[in-house]
Amino acid sequence: MFQYYSSNELKIINKFEKDGFLIFNLDKQKIKKIRNLVNSQIFKIFKKNKIKIKNEHKLDILNKFHLYIKTSELNNFRLNIYNNLNKKKDFLETYFKVSKKELEVICGNELAMQRKINLSIQIPKDDSSLLPVHSDVWSGCSPFEVVVWIPLVNCSKTKSMFILPKQENEKYYKKFYKNKNSNDLYNSIKKKTKWINIKFGQGLIFTHQLMHGNLVNETKETRWSFNCRFKSLMSPYDKKDIAETFLPISIRPATRFGMNYEEPQT
């Protein structure tokens, strides 16, 4: 089989096919634009609620966020920012463009994107924002999808997320139904999981066939991260189809001609 890839493309492909995930550098200007949007939303809400920020925390408000909010207020705060950002037309476009090169190598250049980008805020010691070990395919997502996970702060250990690399995932995946619940499943794989060590300015792209999740954040800083699913436009969908969940973002002219073709009437 002929495969016409550049050396840079082959490097991305080989890494992704080996592990099922890839950490890569984002477009610096675009990711800073996204972080600035989030910061402005935080300051706006704080101002409205008359919450005063210490001067030494203003430049690091994302990491220090837990010092200014109660756990009971967290989800409403998160939804407020989530809804405001997803109303901005250029937000989705910017999110796509920060990882465009890697996505097109891994998925192709005709893509569909999740209609809304998810936001996760995980403050220290909070057990209300946990995502137990899972594979998205178990909940009706297509196995052809990938997730682009982008942190707005440096993440490691329990401030990050864990993932089961491809080789280990293949060993344990079929044993899922032998485990009674997510705790049993995690206990059976935890020694094989990899905690993602990633800095602001980097992104993670992974196949959500891999089991992944998080635990209680035991660090002294808050984690902020976005995640969004992408897939090849023409690859199979599952329960979450293109009309309900996905938005076509790059359709080539030949595909448009093909989609609009009708047989002549006889």
What is the per-residue pLDDT across 119-139, written as a single tens digit (0 to 9) for each?
999 999 998 888 888 888 888
Judged on CB neighbours under 10 Å (0-12, 13-18, 19+), 42 is buried
Contacts of the segment 169-174: beta carbons below 8 A, 24+ positions apart: 169/20, 169/209, 169/210, 169/211, 172/211, 173/135, 173/209, 173/211
pLDDT of residue 264: 87
pLDDT at 2 over 80: no
DSSP 15-46: HHHHHSEEEEEPPHHHHHHHHHHHHHHHHHHH
Assess if residue 44 is contained within a domain.
yes
Average pLDDT of the segment spanning 47-53: 92
Assess if residue 32 is contained within a domain.
yes
Length of the chain: 266
> Taking the complete model, does pTM exceed 0.75, yes or no?
yes
Assess if residue 257 is contained within a domain.
no
Query: Based on the structure, what is the number of domains in the chain?
Result: 1
Assess if residue 114 is contained within a domain.
yes
- Report pLDDT digits (tens) over 30-42: 999 999 999 999 9
User: Could you tell me if residue 125 is left (phi over 0), alpha (psi between -120 and 50 degrees) or otherwise beta?
Assistant: left
Most confident region among 2-6, 105-109, 260-264 by mean pLDDT: 105-109
pLDDT of residue 242: 75
Average pLDDT of the segment spanning 66-80: 94
Average pLDDT of the segment spanning 192-208: 96
Please give the share of the chain, as a percent, with pLDDT higher than 90.
69
pLDDT at 75 over 80: yes
Average pLDDT of the segment spanning 161-165: 94
CA-wise closest residue to 145 among 69, 28, 227, 265 = 227
Assess if residue 2 is contained within a domain.
no
- Whole-number mean pLDDT of the chain? 91
Assess if residue 259 is contained within a domain.
no
- Report pLDDT digits (tens) over 168-194: 888 887 666 566 677 888 888 889 999
Give counts: helices (H), strands (E), the chain.
Answer: 8, 10
Average pLDDT of the segment spanning 136-147: 90
Average pLDDT of the segment spanning 103-130: 94
pLDDT of residue 179: 63
In terms of residue numbers, what domain contains 72?
Answer: 7-250
Of 30-39, 46-55, 80-89, 171-180, the least confident: 171-180
CA-wise closest residue to 147 among 48, 61, 89, 213 = 213
User: Could you tell me if residue 114 is left (phi over 0), alpha (psi between -120 and 50 degrees) or otherwise beta?
Assistant: beta
Tokens 């675009």 locate to 30
pLDDT at 1 over 60: no
Residue pair 231/141 in contact by the 8 Å Cβ criterion: no
Q: What is the CATH number of the domain that holds 187?
A: 2.60.120.620
pLDDT of residue 171: 81
Judged on CB neighbours under 10 Å (0-12, 13-18, 19+), 101 is middle
- Report pLDDT digits (tens) over 11-23: 999 999 999 999 9
Assess if residue 123 is contained within a domain.
yes
Assess if residue 101 is contained within a domain.
yes
